[in-house]
Each structure stands twice: as C-alpha cells, then as structure tokens.
Structure 1
Amino acid sequence: MWKFLKDSGYLFMCALLVIVLAIAILWALSIGTVKLPLQQIFAAVVNQLQSDTPIDALGKGPIHDIIWLLRLPRLILAALVGCGLSVCGVIMQAIVKNPLADPYILGISAGASLGATAAILLGIGLSFGENFVGIAAFIGAFVISLGVLFISNLGGRSNSIKLLLAGMALSSVCSAFSSFIIYFANNKEGMQTVAYWMMGSFAGARWDNLAVTAPIVILAVLFFWSQSRMLNLMLLGDESALTLGTDLHLYRQLYLLISSLIVGFVVYSAGMVGFVGLIVPHVIRMLVGTDHKKLVPVSALTGAVFLVIADGLCRIIIPHTELPIGILISLIGAPCFVYLMIKRTYGFGGN
C-alpha cells in the first residue's frame, strides 16, 4: 500500500510538471517586445499544423513568424538544454559520488570554452560553416572528456576520485590556454564575442539545429532512466557493487561519454549555461529521494520548466533588451545553492 502511494505521488509529480511546462511555454510565447494574446497563439499554431507548407514559407504573416521562427524554437531549445543539463548533473554526481559535481566539473566546460575561444579569435574551424563556433566548442568538450578518461586510467583503473582529479587538472590546462589565446589575440571585437558566448543564449535556435539536438538529448535521458539500478549502485561505491556482482568501471566511463555528448550539443546550441546541473538535482533529491528511477525523469522535467521560465524572464526584465541566460541563472542559482549548504536538514541524497 505504501509503495503504491509513493509511486502515485511520483507519477502525479511528473504529470504536474508536464502541465506546468506546457503553461510555461504558452506564457513565454505571449511575452516579449511584441505581446501576443493566447487566441492568436493558438490560431497560429493550429494553422501551421494543418498547413502543408514549410514553416519558413513566405506570406504567413508576422504573428506566424514571431511564434514559429523566433519564440517556439528557442523555447524548445531551452527545454532541451534544461532537461539535458539537469540529467547530466544527476549522472555526474552519481559517477564521482560528489554533491558538488555538475556537467562542467570534469573539465567539459573548460574544453568547450577553449574550443569556442580558438574558433572566435583564431578562426579555427571556419570550414565548418556559420556554426563553426558551436561545433568547435562541442569538439573541445568531447575531446576533454576523452582525455579525462585516458588520464584517469593511467597507472590503474579509473575510479571516482581519479576522474575528479583528472577533470580538475585538464580544466586548469584548458583555462590557461584560453587565457593565453585571449592575451595574444589583441582582438577587442573577438573578446566581446567570446564573453557574450560564455554567457549563453537561446536566440540562435533554429529548427534544423533542433532536429539534431532533440533526438540526442531525449534518447540519452531515456537511456539514463533505464540505467537507474546501476546509478543507484554507484552511490554505494565500487566495493559494495562488487560484492553484489557488478563492476562499475565500464559503466562509469560509458555514462561520462554520453553525458559529455549531451553537454557538447548543448554548448553547440546555446553556449555556456551553468548551475542548472548543480541546483536542480539537489532540489529534486529533497522531494523524491535518491532513487534514480524517480530522480532522472523528475530532474529532466524540472530543468526544462526552469529554463523555459528563465528564458521568458530574460526577455522582459530589461525592456527591449535580452539579458544573457547565464547571468540570470547564476543570480538565481548561487543564492539557492548557498541556502542548500546552510540548511541543516539537507545532505547529499536528501534528508
């Protein structure tokens, strides 16, 4: 009976978060420099769904273009980024058994910033086309994750401590190279571009990019949801897992690579967005506990809702100006994390 009630509460929370996400998207579609009533939004959505013409076809009117070409792609991207980063935070914290872990702590963030800095200031990757900065950042993030795995396996098999130390070492190296490039580039316009890219933005969202990012994030989240038993074992430690007949070594490396793939595509699509993978898993553990079967989907939905609302706020806080998403997330995330640290009833894994 108690198990049924607990499962019912978890399913109700998931259903509620889906409803809240839909409401948040409708709210964010209606606000901005041009305010749109809900009737016009519904009409534009229904007309496009019933139409056989492409979304970007000419002559469909300004309301259609605002909704389908500007706002809806960026809101879907915001939901995907929030979903991906939140789940990556859950996975990273399980891999290294560290409550301070997030998608960027293992050097992935520094690798992405090095790739973007090299692309913007040195022109590396221009052959990739107009998205060369994002692609270079993705390559940097993925290469550093491979480097973390390689270094952590030197001198013996990797474990959570070696992964963490390898990530910190490579993060310092990447930051040093990024600073070196910025120092000698002497390109003020390029430096401004690097700074803006580091703050993150969903303004560049397009349907063709979403067609690549969405399947990767969704499939990866579903995969991690199916791995809840292994993730629960990781919290117990390698020795306890071995006594239960499971070797976590290969699983840990596989999860790190898939997490890096998510972060790489998120960085490619939206730039650097921090704190989501750190804050959301902590808050959700306080509500549903440490069972990853519940933690993964609830964190994914919560992260999606959080970034959709945050993106809407970024477009209305300062009139006629868009605030970079990274600034707002840091202003919200840092105080929340400090509160969690000083809350006596909270520890890694909940109460």
Structure 2
Amino acid sequence: MSQTSPPAAAAPAPADRPPDPPRRPATPAGTAIAAAVLALALAVSAVLAVGLGAAPVPPAETARHLWAALTGGTIAADEVTRHQIVWQIRTPRVVLAAVVGAGLGAVGTAVQAMVRNPLADPYVLGVSSGASVGAVLVGTFGALSALGIHAVAAGAFLGALGATLLVHAVARSRTGLSPLRLVLTGVALSFGFQALMGVIVHLAPDGEAASALLFWTMGGFGAASWESLPVVAAGVTAGILLLRASARQLDAAALGDETAASLGVDTDRLRRKLFVLTAVMTGAMVAVSGAIGFVGLVVPHVVRILVGAAHRRVLTVAPLAGAVLMVWVDLASRTLAAPRELPLGVLTALLGVPVFIALMRRRGYQFGGR
C-alpha cells in the first residue's frame, strides 16, 4: 500500500520579508520639540565654536565676552586681545556659518519641491557656477574695484543673478517652466560656466584666479566680517520666512501639476516665484561663502524622517538643523588641520556621502515616493 507523503511547505520567496512597522505621523508638538531642541543645540554649539580654535577660550569666559560685546560692558585691559579674537574674528564667522547652513537647508527643501526631484540641491540650477565665474572675473581683471573688499562678493552675486536669468530664459517654454527643463538647463549651463572658468584661469597672468576659483568651488567662511554679515543674514531670514509662508503651495506642488491645479495652485506661477527667491538666496550665500555641497541635499531628507513630509514642518526644522551642522563643520575645517583650513566642501562631502547612502539603504524611506 503506497503512502503519499504530505506536500512540503513552500519555502518563502527570498523577496518575502515582514512589512515595516507603520511609522507614526509627526505631530505639531513633535515638530515644536524638535525645533526647541535644535535651537538650544545651536546656541550651545555657537558658544563652543566661538571659544574653540588655535587660542581656546573656556565657554564661561566666551559667554562673558559675548555678553560684554552685546550689552556694551567693560573688558579689562589685559583681555582686549582675547576679546577681539572672540568678538571680531570668531563670532562673525560662526554667525555666518549658522546663517548659510539655515539658508541651505531651507533652499534645498524648496528646490526639491520645485523641480520634484529628490536629488536636487540649491546649486542644481547653475547658480553656484555663475557666481564662481563672476568672482573669478573680478579677482582676475579687477572689475568693481570701487567696492574695495566687497568687490569679489559683489561679482559673485552678479554672476549668480546672471546665471539665473540665463537659465530662466533658456528653460522657459510656451507651457511655462517645467521641472525637467529647469534641471536639464541648469546642469548643462553649469558645465558651460565651469568651462568658462577654466579658460579664465588658464589665461590669467598669475595664480590668484586659480586660488579664487578653489575658494568659490570648495567654500569657506574665512572672509566673514561684521560688515558683510547683515545683508546676507537679512536676505536669508526673509527668504526662509517667505518659503515657509508658501508651505501649503509646496505641499500641493509636490503632488504634481494636475493635482495642484485641482487644489487651486498655479504651479507655473509658484515655480517662477520659487525660482527667483531660491536663486537670490543662493546667490547671496555663495557670494559670502562659496559653494558648499551636500548640506541642501541631505538635510531636507533627514528632517523629513524626523518630522514628516509636510513643508511647514520641514521648513521649521531644516533651517535649524542646517545651522547646527554648518557651525560644527566650520569648526572642524579650522581646527582639524590648524593652522591651515580644510575646504568646507570637502568636509560636507565626506559627511554627506555616507549619510546619503545610509538613507538609500534605510528600509521604509522612499526618495521621491518610489
């Protein structure tokens, strides 16, 4: 009598895996807590960064010098040199690092929504390359010399605006500004600007153009001063507030043009407004710091994991996260190889690449919803 063995249980397919646990949506209270924690971390980081350097100053003494400068207090005669180091040299640099980091975090969020591309960053539209051309032209041929120490920064800003106008003119079609045309035009013109920079450096009579090019392509806050800080700080702050006021429209635009139109959002008009606003903010930041990569690319993704994808929450937390990150990256750039400074772009790339790879391999996180 033959016996039939019971059928063997089918082995699970290799692709079978337990589903990810549902992720609890972020709440307004959670966003407020994250913002409060980051604001406190920024204040502590700023005091520590001002005190650390080739001539370290204890945190309590750093705070005393800062308080004296802000309130008009008196400083002992034997502390004048240290006070100048704290207030005139380090504090403008730390404040500028925080301002640029906040701006990059906000602009990166807006640009990714504007072009609906998770790989977009503040420099994807060719603004940084145009700024670099302007800076190198001024440094090589002495244009705008009437502006003195601000000539190179002014040249960089004018170059950024010129690149913005050119990208807008080339990318615009009868149907408006499409995300794909913006990205492709920005990338193509970036290569053209880089080629132009190479020609300028090659024809320059000395090596100053090459050193200027290195700064504007790698970034740095070595030129920070109280004179140049108010303009960029006011511009970045106003830009962040305007972007946050457009958060609901950004939420709609991220769903696609047809869905946004059904919700009453004119995506072409919104894209033009965002294009001008982000270009002006990026140009102002590049003019004082050069091009600093990966911050505007990675910070928005990390913040979305923490507080969700709603742009009002992201644009509340991303500027604070970018500011904290940039303060510590700048501190590392001027202390790791002291007395020489490491280019900020090198450090942000070394930090941003592994973080981005970790995000891609993180279960449950989807770039661009796919």
TM-score tier, shorter chain, comes to over 0.9
Amino acid at match of 2:64: A
- Shift of the alpha carbon at 1:241? 1.2
Residue 299 (1) aligns with residue 318 (2): yes
Q: 1:183 to 1:335 in 2, by over 3 A?
A: same
Q: Contact 1:120–1:194 at 8 Å: present in 2 too?
A: no
* Superposition deviation, residue 273 in structure 1: 1.2
1:84 alignment counterpart: 103
Answer with 1 or 2: which has the greater Rg. 2
Task: Tell me the residue number matched to 1:32.
Answer: 53
How many residues are treated as equivalent by the alignment? Answer: 346
Aligned counterparts, 1:124-139, within 5 A? 124-139=143-158
Work out whether 1:204 is the aligned partner of 2:249.
Answer: no
Q: How large is the Cα RMSD of the aligned pairs?
A: 2.2
Q: Distance in 1 between matches of 2:350 and 2:62?
A: 31
* TM-fit CA distance, 1:110: 1.3
Q: What amino acid is the match of 1:232?
A: D
Deviations 1:39-86 (A, max 9, x none): 211221222233289x9xx99701210111011110000000000011
Deviations 1:176-216 (Å, cap 9, x if unpaired)? 21122222225223312321342211121111211111111
Distance across 2 between alignment mates of 1:36 and 1:198 = 32
**How do 1:232-271 and structure 2 match up within 5 A?**
232-271=251-290
- Match for residue 93 of structure 1? 112
d(CA) in 2 for partners of 1:288 and 1:5? 5
**Equivalent position of 1:19 in the other structure:** 40
Residue range with higher mean Cα deviation, 250-259 or 314-323: 314-323
1:222 corresponds to which residue?
Answer: 241
Verify the 8 A CA contact 1:273 1:326 in the aligned structure 2. yes
Q: Does 1:345 align with 2:369?
A: no
How does 1:85-234 map onto structure 2 within 5 Å?
A: 85-234=104-253
Does the CA contact (< 8 Å) of 1:290 and 1:350 recur in 2? Answer: no
By how many angstroms is 1:147 displaced?
Answer: 1.7
Q: CA 1:59–1:156 in 2, change beyond 3 Å: closer, same or farther?
A: farther
Indicate conservation of the 8 Å contact 2:128/2:283, yes or no: no
Distance of aligned partners of 1:43 and 1:344 in 2 relative to their CA distance in 1, 3 Å threshold: closer
Residue type at the aligned position of 2:72: S
Q: Check whether the contact 2:122–2:278 (CA below 8 A) recurs between aligned residues.
A: yes
Cα separation, 2, equivalents of 1:5 and 1:272: 32
Q: Does 1:44 align with 2:89?
A: no
Separation (CA, whole Å) in 2 of partners of 1:286 and 1:149 = 32
Question: For residues 267 and 350 of structure 1, do their structure 2 counterparts lie closer, same or farther at Cα, with a shift above 3 Å needed?
Answer: same
Q: Deviations over 1:12-34 (max 9, x none)?
A: 11000001101111111221011
SS at match of 1:61: helix
Mapped contact 2:101–2:319 kept (Cα < 8 A): yes
CA distance in 2: counterparts of 1:95 and 1:4, whole angstroms: 24
1:277-333 Cα deviation digits (max 9, x unpaired): 001011111111210010011100000000001111122211322222222112111
Structure 1 Cα separation of the partners of residues 86 and 334 of structure 2: 14
Q: In the alignment, is the contact (CA less than 8 A) between 1:285 and 1:350 conserved in 2?
A: no
Using a 3 Å threshold, how does the CA distance of structure 1 residues 128 and 59 change in structure 2: closer, same or farther?
farther
Which region of structure 1 is more displaced relative to structure 2, 41-50 or 19-28?
41-50
Contact 1:84 1:262 in 2 (8 A): yes
Q: Which moved more, 1:325-334 or 1:341-350?
A: 341-350
Instruction: Answer whether contact 2:30 2:307 (CA < 8 A) is retained.
Output: no
* Residues 98-123 of structure 1 deviation map (CA, whole Å, 9 limit, x = unaligned): 00100001111211111122222233
> Counterpart of 2:166 in structure 1: which amino acid?
G
2:254 alignment partner, SS class? helix
Q: Distance in 2 between matches of 1:185 and 1:110?
A: 18
**1:10 equivalenced with 2:19 (yes/no):** no
Q: Which amino acid aligns with 1:11?
A: A
- Could you tell me which runs of 5 or more consecutive residues in structure 2 were left unpaired when the two chains were aligned: 1-23
Q: Does 1:334 align with 2:353?
A: yes
Tell me, which stretches of 5 or more residues in structure 1 are unaligned?
none
C-alpha contact 1:142 1:261 (8 A) present in aligned 2: yes
